[in-house]
Structure 1
């Protein structure tokens, strides 16, 4: 597991910390590459014992991030272009329905979305935090629609997209600025209470996101490789 960096000081249960560390580490792997992780190497890099590593790997396997292969370790499979398209198609169905429902809330709801866009605009130098804020923006819309079953399903989609998007969406600051503009168009439509325009803005945003995800891995933003949660 070459290139694994030691984790910085963190707080919380050993299993939860190891789980978050592993999830972030996997997210930073190129999506077209498959690799094996071993309990001992992860434990050493994460600064924990093998027991929480084993428990974290089981959680990640249940979520579809890895496959545990007896006597070999945890296999992180490559992500195909077909899987990327499938996830984005599912996201579009959920987000189109939810944005059209929440658009009726108009200016009051738009205030919270504007706050999130402003926060995200301040994170251009921090791609990990930028993506985290992006997720909060979309999650806020989905949850506001008031369907907990759909919200839970949506979270699983975003979990699957972590590895797809962390490297691809923020490989260049120009894409990040485009995301801010696209989010701004969504907010403007919600502010006006225009459900049709809001749906179109979401569709345009997800279409450009899919295009960015489809570009082969290139150099990431300076400093991305050096960042880990809690470092």
Structure 2
């Protein structure tokens, strides 16, 4: 990996984690100079990292003003989680019973999450992959595409959920394993209930008021 790529990756990961820790209510402006100073990189890799994050929907580059991280309202949180529940419940019941190959994939993703428990960005990346795998396995490309459209909001929400409550990452792992147990037992009801419990607990965390701040220094 080149120095340029390495610096861009450093800036990208710092920004993603920092954005995940910003308060949901009220937008926030950042500048290239601030990020460069915080990450110890030059402004060129910071600019490239910002473009990547803009393409992911996590921020908006505003000419002559800086970078704007938009707020996420309570209504948006509720709407996204409701949409997730509808799609994922249908998917998890449809993939029951599951093949050993698919179950092994889910086990691998949970193992990746466990290995990344001290790295919120990597943890949420693996989290998204876990849920995406279930939706894709259900075999409906229209729903899978719709689910992907929720990705940008989910990334920031997921980072906040992991950051706001102590031991939340461990709880997520336990809840993911319960979903796998339901699938392995070939029980649509058990898998659906485990998924509902997981999404419900996530929503409960997201509903908590913003307190303090959290970022890469943690």
Q: TM-score range with shorter-chain normalisation?
A: 0.7 to 0.9
The aligned counterpart of 2:133 is: 140
Distance 1:199 1:160 in 2: 23
The aligned counterpart of 1:92 is: 85
CA RMSD of aligned residues (A): 3.2
Q: How does 1:114-193 map to 2 (within 5 A)?
A: 114-193=107-186
Structure 1, unpaired ranges of 5+? 1-8
The aligned counterpart of 1:103 is: 96
Residue 57 of structure 1 deviates from its aligned partner by: 4.4
How big is each residue's C-alpha offset from its partner over 1:110-144, in whole Å with a ceiling of 9 and x where there is no partner? 23222332343344344333322222211221222
2:216 to 225, 228, 231: 225
Q: 2:22 touches 2:213 (CA, 8 Å); kept in 1? A: no
Secondary structure, counterpart of 1:103 in structure 2: coil
Structure 2, unpaired ranges of 5+? none
Aligned length: 216
Q: Name whichever of 154-163 and 89-98 sits farther off.
A: 154-163
Secondary structure, counterpart of 1:133 in structure 2: helix
Q: Name whichever of 129-138 and 179-188 sits farther off.
A: 129-138
TM-score of the pair, normalised by structure 1:
0.74
Residue 49 of structure 1 deviates from its aligned partner by: 4.1
The aligned counterpart of 1:3 is: none
Residue 17 of structure 1 deviates from its aligned partner by: 7.1
Residue 15 of structure 1 deviates from its aligned partner by: 7.2
Structure 2 vs 1, CA of residues 79 and 176 (structure 1 numbering), >3 Å: closer, same or farther? same
